[in-house]
Homo-oligomer: A and B are copies of this chain.
Amino acid sequence: MGGDSGPDVVLRGANIARERFPDTSFLVFGDSDRIEAVLSRLPKLRDRVEVRHTETIVSNDTKPSAALRSGRKSSMWRAIEAVKEGEADLVVSAGNTGALMAIAKFVLRTPRGVDRPAIVTYFPTLHGETVMLDLGANIECDSENLVQFAVMGAVFARTALAIEQPSVGVLNVGAEELKGNEVVRSAAARLREIEGPFRFHGFVEGNDILDGTVDVVVTDGFTGNVALKTAEGTSKLYAAFLRETFKSSLGARLGYLLARPALNRLRRRLDPRRYNGAVFVGLNGIVVKSHGGTDGFGFGNAIGVGIDMAASGFMEKIRHELERLRPAADEPPQAVNL
């Protein structure tokens, strides 16, 4: 029921995912009348969908705490519960991000070795694609959180981008070891020491994110959220300036017409719908958050991200890597033979 257009976009997305992943079936939670009305126009999808009616929804302006208190019968809660019960391999929602994270944490819990889940995504850069986390789940982080994000981000890069040994950088205000605050410095010191599923690059700066200097950028949720939205805003500014420029003279208009096929290829390459689907990592289950304003094509891609992760055993890989990380002090005490 989430997102700006509710079941319509969600089901159109499922219909696209159905073609790409013919073995997939869908549990759809929400107002069954509205859902059935859309499904009646999508006959091929109809056979692959089981509708579960719910009376309530979590709206976009519901606070996470309120969703936790009174959202147990909502479509969002019940969809997450289906993952916990093993009825679904993953859940995808275009709804309220804060509520989705709060309910997912409460229902699914974090696996051993994860203190806090994080939000991760990837986007196109000058050199391929780059993964970044956390994008807003954790406003304040300690260095141990960042170390865990590095491990989870590296496993995500391996799964989503097929990079065997991803390079990891910690976002900072300079590349030198002494730059930044205590949190990033101790996280970097720890990452230099441990053997994780990555090569640790060191610190990176804001301009490195879209340069693609590293495969995985690790940061707290405040900085990550601001950086991602700043990049989105800058792209929007550039696109607006270009549109204006191509209308500014007759030569520019003609030039645009000639270059249009090439410019359209660029637009498709950078299409945010292609990169739709942020993943909540660090939970006992796969939770994918679609952009609320996307369309069926975008929602279908968010479903695809989740299916790729489930099919590649993402959860097991994360657990395995976190297991390797745990300090010896965490181990059960050994019997000592004197």
Contact = CB atoms under 8 A, between A and B. Distances in A.
Interface of A: 63, 125-126, 136, 139-140, 171, 173, 178, 180-181, 205-211, 219, 221-223, 225-238, 240-242, 245-246, 248-249, 251-252, 254-263, 265-266, 269-270
Contacts of A258: 251-252, 254-255, 258
Nearest to A206: B229
Contacts of A242: 242, 266
Contacts of A140: 181
Nearest to A212: B237
A246 B259 contact: yes
Q: Tell me the interface secondary structure of chain A in the complex.
A: helix
B125 A237 contact: yes
Contacts of A180: 139, 222
Given A126-B240, A245-B262, 18 more contacts: A139-B173, A139-B180, A139-B181, A140-B181, A181-B222, A206-B228, A206-B230, A207-B233, A223-B223, A226-B226, A226-B227, A227-B227, A227-B230, A231-B231, A231-B233, A245-B266, A246-B262, A251-B261
Contact of A236 (B63, B211, B229): B211
A212 to B, nearest CB: 9
